[in-house]
A = this chain, B = another copy of it.
Amino acid sequence: MERSNEPAEGRGDGRVAGRADGRRPPTIRGVAERAGVSKSLVSLVLQGSPRVSDAKRQAVLDAIEELGYRPNAAARSLVARRTHTVGVLLNDMRNPWFVEVLDGLNSLLEAHGLRMLMADGRLDRRAGQDFARTFQELRVDGLVVVGTLPDTDGLAEVAERLPTVIAGNHEPRLPHVDIVANDDERGARLATEHLIALGHRRIAHIAGQGLVGELRRRGFEAAVRAHGLAASAVVESGDGTEEGGYRAAVRLLNPSRGTERPTGVFAFNDISCVGALSAAQELGLDVPADLSLVGYDNTYLARIRHLWLNSVNNASHEVGRRAARCLLDRMERPDAPAGHQLVAPELEIRGSTAPPRP
């Protein structure tokens, strides 16, 4: 009762201590009053309408400037029923690969006036489990899932209502969800064929886990088979970590092994490739003279002069760009059939391969 007579005073929101400086941010009405026009006219000015006289436009702009007015995005999107925001769900921001995709995404989305709202599933437990709820409550205009994702059921639910695109992963396949991914199988073939072209005949692969690990292994196997080297090819399992790569390489290179050891190794990713490099050096093998190595992902690890690894560059930036393109298309035609495209990788040559010793 007493309170209703002093509406804009501090502590008006019932918190323990007064919020902000007690003064609410200026509204469109405040601007209108100051400029001596109606709020409708201010709205027209904000939208850059041409049917406003220069005099009033200037008055409005001055008032905006003087008051430091900023339109309220919530109010705006409430009536427009568009937030100009797309949700981006990642699962590990530590992965430099993601940043490339984000960069590619952003370049296009920004040009279309969309901002990105990022959530990291691993970093933010809530976002991982409950991202469906969060993004729906925020009424994002679209959703991009980057990499693998914790909760497929949740995604299916969101995808029914929201234009959705998966970037950098091959699954899950859902009715109206586009997929843009790296062509991992092709990249693995590229790496393997590079070793073969150098003259290597005993070639090994340090495998990774998950669907991506599967695809890269498949590419490796296809390449060795195509060149009749399947009999002398070996696959050791790793886990995508440096330690896993190290141990796999030790198993591969250990002299106690019955068969002759490989002269070329294609590793699942750069990290495990670095592990393999460590193992080789511990065993007194020179890279690339005694052992050729190829990694994958072309991370900045590969670019360290000390390591200088050949690596498959999976063009993540392009994946991001294309995913953005898909999302924009799907926002226009939400019921179009799901598309599925692969982006071709390239092999980046540095110093970790050479022809085998004669």
Complex Cα–Cα for A126 and B301 (A): 30
A286-329 to B contact mask, C-beta < 8 Å, 1/0: 00000000000000010011110000000000000000000000
CB-based contact A102/B106 at 8 Å: no
Q: Are A123 and B139 in contact (CB under 8 A)?
A: no
A281 contacts across to B, CB distance below 8 A: 306
Number of copies: 2
Q: Among the listed B68, B99, B275, B304, which residue makes an inter-chain contact with A94, where contact means beta carbons less than 8 Å apart?
A: B99
Bound complex: CA A133 to CA B71 (Å): 9
Known contacts A19-B334, A306-B274, A307-B306, A110 near B82 by CB under 8 Å: no
Whether B335 pairs with A306 at a CB distance below 8 angstroms is no
How big is the A interface, by class? 35 or more
Q: Which residues of B contact A99 (CB under 8 A)?
A: 93-94, 123
Chain B CB within 8 A of A21 CB: yes
CB pair A274–B304 under 8 Å, yes or no, is: yes
Which A residues lie at the B interface, using CB under 8 A? 13, 15-21, 24-25, 68, 70-75, 77-78, 80-83, 93-94, 96, 99, 102-103, 106, 110, 115-120, 123-127, 133-134, 136-139, 157, 161-162, 242-243, 246, 274-275, 277-278, 281, 301, 304-307, 331-335
